[in-house]
Amino acid sequence: MSDIAKWEIADRLRERAREDLFELLRSIEGTKDLFIDADLFPLIDLTSTATEIRKYGVGNLHKLDSTLNVQTKNKRLFLLRPNMVRFLSLAKQLRQLDIQNAHLICVPRKFYAFEHLLEQEGLWGRCKLHELTAFDMVPVDYDSFSMVNSHLYLNIYLDHSTDWLSTLAASLTDFQKLFGKFSKTIAFGKLAGQVLRQLEREER
């Protein structure tokens, strides 16, 4: 593959992620405060700037690790990685603080259990779930594409969570839909084999 072709792929992935974020921000009316998971700042920096984000009705940007009890009349948007423990902790805080009309944006995809957790915490209908699926793969260089998830191995090997495997397979499937089938796919290890099998099922 030529360098020009690699640059074209990188630009297309970056633009796809930008438009996914901006379209979601456009769809949520009113002034918004955006709380961003610390793990996602590098990913956001690769695709857009704070100035660009503020053009879509975002008044303030906060680090998600900070207290949620920020005095604001703006809608609260939470940009976070799909993690069961983190999501449940956030849901409990939203319930305790009686925060209404919050938007929980999972990057790149939500887990199916999240809807059940919202219902369990009495937040169903008060909080809306979103996904930014175009952030499943972004260019870190013209010939290097990554999910930029520093906690992926911790989630899989330390927490023994396999929830991310289907997300990985879906991301690779989307990549192939955009740019064509991989000429060669090699899986090392049991979990990689599971991802490969899911990928093959998606291709059928």
Provide the residue ranges of all domains of the chain, joining segments of one domain with +: 3-147, 162-204
List pLDDT tens digits, range 177-189: 888 888 888 888 8
The amino acid sitting at 191 is L
Start-to-end C-alpha separation, the chain = 26
List pLDDT tens digits, range 17-71: 999 999 999 999 999 999 999 888 988 998 999 999 999 999 999 999 766 777 8
SS3 content of the chain, % helix, strand, coil (to 5): 50, 15, 35
- Pair 43, 108: CB distance under 8 Å: no
Q: What percent of the chain has pLDDT over 90?
A: 40
Band (pLDDT 50/70/90 cuts) for residue 151 is low
Per-residue pLDDT at 162 exceeds 80: no
More confident residue, 150 or 60: 60
Average pLDDT, the chain: 86
- Pair 62, 36: CB distance under 8 Å: yes
Cis bond upstream, residue 108 (ω within 30): yes
The amino acid sitting at 93 is Q
Per-residue pLDDT at 142 exceeds 70: no
CATH ID of 3-147, from 1.10.20.10, 3.40.50.1000, 2.40.50.100, 3.40.50.2060: 3.40.50.2060
* Lowest mean pLDDT across 95-99, 126-130, 158-162: 158-162
More confident residue, 176 or 160: 176
What is the Cα–Cα distance from 176 to 40, expressed in whole angstroms? Answer: 24
Which residue, 137, 188, 190, 189, is CA-closest to 167?
Answer: 137
Q: Which residues, at least 6 apart from 165, have a Cβ–Cβ distance to it below 8 Å?
A: 156, 191, 194, 195, 198
DSSP state of 109: -
Band (pLDDT 50/70/90 cuts) for residue 196 is confident
What is the Cα–Cα distance from 118 to 200, expressed in whole angstroms? Answer: 32
pLDDT at position 67, please?
65
pLDDT at position 79, please?
96
What is the Cα–Cα distance from 17 to 36, expressed in whole angstroms? Answer: 16
Band (pLDDT 50/70/90 cuts) for residue 202 is confident
More confident residue, 85 or 102: 102
More confident residue, 135 or 28: 28
Bin 202: left if φ > 0, else alpha if -120 < ψ < 50, else beta.
Answer: alpha
The amino acid sitting at 138 is V
Which residue, 132, 120, 190, is CA-closest to 162?
Answer: 190
